[in-house]
Amino acid sequence: MEFLLMTIGLFISHGSPTILIDENKWKDLLRRVGKEIEEKYKPETIIVSSPHFVSWTETFYIESSEKLECIQDYYDFPDETYKYCYNALNDTELVEEIVKNAEGKVVKDDKWGLDHGAWIPLFYMFPEYKPKVVTISITDNSPESHYEIGEKIRKAVEKLGRKAVFLATGSPTHRLDLFYFKITPKPTKFDAILMDLIKSGEFEKILKISELYPKEYQTAMPEGNLNTLHMLLGYIKPKKAEILGYDTPWPGVSMLAASFYE
C-alpha cells in the first residue's frame, strides 16, 4: 500500500459565511485544491479540525454519529446563507480506533456535526466526490497537547491503512471587532510571520509562535489559537510546506491556504 502518498495535510481558512453568496475568489481556490486532492489521492476519509468545534475541558471530543449533519452556527447573516449545507458520512471505524489509541484523551460525542468551519470548505472542495469525514474538537489546552493528539490520530490512520487527508481550518488573523466596524482590510505582521515560518519549514516555531511573537499574536488574535494547525503538524510531522493562497477579503479576517507534506 502506498501510504506515503497520503501523508498530506491542509490548513485552509473557511472565512465568513458570506463567502457562500459573495463573488469571492477563495471559492475557486477551494475548488481547485479539492479537485487536485481528489485526482491525486482519492482519499477515503477527510479528518477535519475546525476552530468552531471546541471542548472546554482537557478532553478532546470526536463525533461518533454515523451521519454528520450540517450545523449553520452563524447568526444575523443574510437569509440566503442559510440555504447552503453539507452533510457527510462518518468514518466510525476510524473514530473507534482514534479513541482507543488516544487512551482517554479523546472521547466520543454525538451532539455535534459539521459546523461552518468544517462544512464550508468541504462544500466547495468535494461537491460530488464525497469521502467520509471524521471531525475532532480543539480544546483550550497547549499547542503541544494538540500536536500529541495529531500524532495519535496518525497512528490510528496507519493502523487501519486509511487513505486520509487532514484538513485544519481557521483564520490566522481573526479580529471580529475590525470586521464589525468595517475597518479597511490589510495584512497583519502576524500573517507574514506565520507564512515565513511555513515557507522556511520552521514548524517547531509555529508551536511557540505566541511566545516568540507575543505582540503580533495578540494583535492578530488567531482563530482557535491556531490549535487546528498544531494538531495538523502532529499528524503530518512535515518536512516541507507550500503556501497555496493568501487574501484579506474582509476587515480583520485573513485567509490562508497551505499544504504540508511528510
Cell numbers that stand for 114 in this block: 459539521
CA 219 to chain centre: 21
Helix/strand/coil for 85: coil
pLDDT at 193 over 60: yes
Asked if the structure places residue 187 within a domain, the reply is no
Question: Three cell numbers at 28?
Answer: 475557486
Dihedral pair phi/psi, residue 91, rounded to 5°: -90, 80
3 state SS of 38: helix
- Residue, of 182 and 238, whose pLDDT is higher: 238
Domain count within the chain: 1
d(CA 149, CA 106): 8
Instruction: Provide the domain limits for residue 103.
Output: 3-182+195-261
Residues 6 or more apart whose Cβ sits within 8 Å of residue 105: 58, 59, 60, 148, 149, 152
Q: Among 2-6, 14-18, 38-42, 222-226, name the one with the lowest average pLDDT.
A: 2-6
pLDDT on residue 231: 98
Please give the C-alpha separations between residue 168 and each of 67, 77, 186, 227, 243, in angstroms, as whole numbers: 20, 24, 23, 9, 14
Domain for residue 189, yes or no?
no
| Residue 188 located in a structural domain | no
Label residue 184 by pLDDT band (50, 70, 90).
low
Query: Does 232 reside within a domain?
Result: yes
pLDDT at 4: 40
Rounded CA gap, 106 and 91, in Å?
A: 16
Q: Is residue 129 part of a domain?
A: yes
* 37 assigned to some structural domain: yes
Is residue 1 over pLDDT 50?
no
pLDDT category of residue 250 using cuts at 50, 70 and 90: confident
pLDDT for res 148: 98
pLDDT above 60 (res 70) = yes
Q: How far apart are CA 251 and CA 92, in angstroms?
A: 39
* Domain CATH code at residue 64: 3.40.830.10
**Is the Cβ–Cβ distance between 133 and 114 less than 8 Å?**
yes
Q: Mean per-residue pLDDT for 64-78?
A: 96
Q: Is residue 123's pLDDT more than 60?
A: yes
Q: How many CB atoms lie within 10 A of CB 209?
A: 24
CA nearest 169: which of 6, 39, 4, 16? Answer: 16
Q: What percent of the chain has pLDDT over 70?
A: 95
6 contacts 41 by C-beta, under 8 angstroms? yes
Q: How far apart are the C-alpha atoms of 123 and 178, rounded to whole Å?
A: 27
Comparing 176 with 55, which gets the higher pLDDT? 55
pLDDT over 60 at 209, yes or no: yes
Residue whose C-alpha cell reads 490548513 in the numeric block: 11
Structural domain contains residue 176: yes
Helices and strands (DSSP H and E) totals, the chain: 10, 12
Indicate yes or no: pTM above 0.85: yes
Tell me if 200 is assigned to some domain: yes
Kindly report the number of other CB atoms within 10 A of residue 103's CB atom.
8
43: three-class secondary structure by DSSP: coil
State the Cα–Cα distance between residues 250 and 248, nearest whole angstrom: 6
Over 90: is that where the pLDDT of 181 sits?
no
Q: What is the pLDDT of residue 218?
A: 95
